[in-house]
Amino acid sequence: MQKTILTISGSLRKNSTHTQFLQAFSQLSTDTVKVNLYQALEQLPAFNPDNEQNLNPVTSRWIQLVREADAIVIASPEYAHGIPGVLKNALDWLVSTDAFIEKPFALFSACPRPMHAPAALEEVLSTMSGKAVRECFLSINLHRDSNTAAYTLAEKTAQFQLKMALDNLCLFLDNS
């Protein structure tokens, strides 16, 4: 049975290094594991608990994709020592659902100095009852001027680390 890993970039920037990092990761999909990049983060409305009973199609689809995924991988920049608002907003839509309960997750970073956001993000996801798969957490210093998926995969160290993260995540899923 094919596993599905949903990846989410915390950046809306058109040529985001984090998004390209996840694009490279998605190119490692195989017959047994499909890696999908969620690309509608900017379309999610601002979280409002009053709207949880009457979700729009974009929000419903977001929750369904998370629910159906076997694992989640998030790559996110750090803004003002924290999680980008658009990413936190997306996560807030999941809080009152069962979509993220016991969901394995890993965090990727494509910048050289993520100091606070990864810990803040791990705290949020753990509070939401997610399962951190720390052996799959990954930080690679990708240069902003070379931020393409092809460049990332051409870098032997980055390619090796991405494959190891994918293999370890699949191993975790097989054993849980």
Tell me the pLDDT tens digit for each residue of 77-99: 888 888 999 999 999 999 999 99
Cα separation, 153 vs 175, whole angstroms: 28
3-state SS string for 109-138: ECCCCCCCHHHHHHHHHHHCCCEECHHHCE
Residue 71 has what pLDDT?
98
Tokens of 98: 């069962």
Q: Which pTM value belongs to this model?
A: 0.93
Cα separation, 118 vs 30, whole angstroms: 28
The amino acid occupying position 24 is A
Tokens of 70: 């076997």
Strand 3-9 to strand 33-38: parallel, antiparallel, or no bridges (unpaired)?
A: parallel
Residue 167 has what pLDDT?
95
Contact between 84 and 76 under an 8 Å Cβ cutoff? The reply is: yes
| H or E stretch covering 132 | strand 131-132
Residue 79 has what pLDDT?
86
| pLDDT (tens place) for every residue of the chain, 176 residues total | 899 999 999 999 888 888 988 998 999 989 999 999 999 999 999 999 999 999 999 999 999 999 999 999 999 988 888 899 999 999 999 999 999 999 999 999 887 666 788 899 999 999 999 999 999 998 887 665 555 666 666 677 888 889 999 999 999 999 98
Contact between 71 and 104 under an 8 Å Cβ cutoff? The reply is: yes
**Residue among 37, 26, 38 nearest 149 (CA):** 26
Distances (CA, A) of 109 to 68, 95, 114, 125: 24, 24, 7, 16
In eight-state DSSP terms, residue 154 is: H
In the chain the domains, ranked by start, together with CATH numbers, are: 3-175 (3.40.50.360)
Residue 159 has what pLDDT?
83
